[in-house]
Amino acid sequence: MATIKVSPRRLRERMEQLGTIGRDPAGGLTRLPFAPAHVQAVQRSAQMMREAGLDAGVDEFGNLIGQRSGRREAALLAGSHLDTVPQGGIFDGALGVVAAIECAQTLREANRPLQHGLAVMAFADEEGHAFGAGTLSSRALVGEIGRSRLAQLRDETGRSVDDYLRARTHGLPPAKVPAQVGAYVELHIEQGPVLERMGRVVAAVESITGILRTPVVIEGRASHAGTTPMPGRADALVGAAELVLAVRELALAERDRAVGTIGRAHVLPGATNVIPGRVELTVELRSPDAQVLETLRDAVEERSREIADRHHLTVRLGAWDLSPPVPLDPRMRDAVVRAIERCGHPPLTLPSWAGHDAGVMSRYVPAGMIFVVSTGGLSHSPDERTPWEAVETGAQVLLETLLFLDDAPDMSRRLPLAYAAG
């Protein structure tokens, strides 16, 4: 049988169309979940799904689903997410959605029906920036984040996730993810430098890192910056600065087994002539080793207390939000490797140091990932780039993976969907 080929032209056109939605005057894209730009991206992606012969709708957790049935009860799921970080790039997340749609359309145009049903997923909130919980929408889908918490998680405008979900501003019909799932597969840019340094284009992902996040509030005493002597100050920003360095030091001590970041800090009252009385920040820790994450968490808590005592401050750490490290299904990894070889590339597997919806799905159904090269290793940046030839390769590998999975022995499992009864 002749190989079915994706359309590079259509892939690029659709990626560039989505890349105009949410353009930030400061550079890059800003599509925070449920905000107007994100809603527009969901609506445009739904139109693409319909063009590919998929029935498109949005579930009660804000996830866009395009699907068609097959002869088997179980469905193959493919996709990624449409939200971005502030001033992000056009490929992170969106590539996996558009490529999955392209696979659906290519199969339809080639009159090549799958035995399984096919569902293309566009998760609403993967990045975790707006509400402080990474892979929020996929975790809500399977009940890892309960409905009561969706009513409590709020963005900087004060609106909760539940507020946005009830509004349903996208205007699309309701839909549900299939409960019986043969496999979930996600195409994504690497977001790191390894593939480029190796001179490679594509790889199968073998595991996904664990991530721990917590909000931290450090409080001191705001007072006049000119009249308060240095020895008598309780400067919250000094404590925050020491915590930033402590997180870096603790992560470095784990060598190549962990990374630590404080990427958000809000200083109050934020005046040039007032000693900071309060700093709000977020600590993030990552490691593929669950024990390392636990050790780092304990060390950060201990250092926070030491810093607060030394500088006459108070510190409060919120609940730690955990996405545990997960190995991906070896059968899925092997299917991706076979697809890579089928596309004329040498086999390669890599771990992922970024979190992905595939990590959540892998706890319940067979899940796999495909990485394509990131130019300069850059992502979460307006300078994020991936060569269009690599985009085509990734989409073709995704298509070949779906074809392999469609012919593979049954791997189906039931996805524990957290939809409301009725």
Please name the residues in contact with 158: beta carbons below 8 A apart, sequence gap of 6 or more: none
Q: DSSP for 208-253?
A: E-EEEEEEEEEE-B--BTTTS-GGG-B-HHHHHHHHHHHHHHHHHH
Tokens representing residue 172 in the block: 């699309």
Distance CA 37, CA 33 (A): 9
Asked whether residue 345 is marked as a ligand-binding residue, the answer is no
DSSP state of 172: P
Of 293, 283, 270, give the one whose Cα is nearest residue 242. 283
Judge contact between 394 and 18, C-beta under 8 A: no
Distance CA 183, CA 75 (A): 7
Asked whether residue 280 is marked as a ligand-binding residue, the answer is no
Distance CA 115, CA 411 (A): 14
Asked whether residue 331 is marked as a ligand-binding residue, the answer is no
Residues making up the chain, counted from first to last: 422
**Residue 330's CB: how many other CB atoms inside 10 A?**
12
Query: Quick one: which H or E segment has residue 94?
Result: helix 94-109
Asked whether residue 256 is marked as a ligand-binding residue, the answer is no
Angle at 221 between CA 220 and CA 222, to 5 degrees: 125
Asked whether residue 286 is marked as a ligand-binding residue, the answer is yes
Query: Quick one: which H or E segment has residue 206?
Result: strand 202-208
3-state secondary structure of 400: helix
Asked whether residue 92 is marked as a ligand-binding residue, the answer is yes
Angle at 415 between CA 413 and CA 417, to 5 degrees: 165
Asked whether residue 380 is marked as a ligand-binding residue, the answer is yes
**Residue 86's CB: how many other CB atoms inside 10 A?**
16
Please name the residues in contact with 340: beta carbons below 8 A apart, sequence gap of 6 or more: 202, 203, 204, 346, 347, 348, 370, 397
Binding-site residue positions for allantoate:
213, 273, 286
Bind-site residues: 81, 92, 127, 188, 213, 273, 286, 380
- Residues of each annotated binding site for Zn(2+): 81, 92, 127, 188, 380
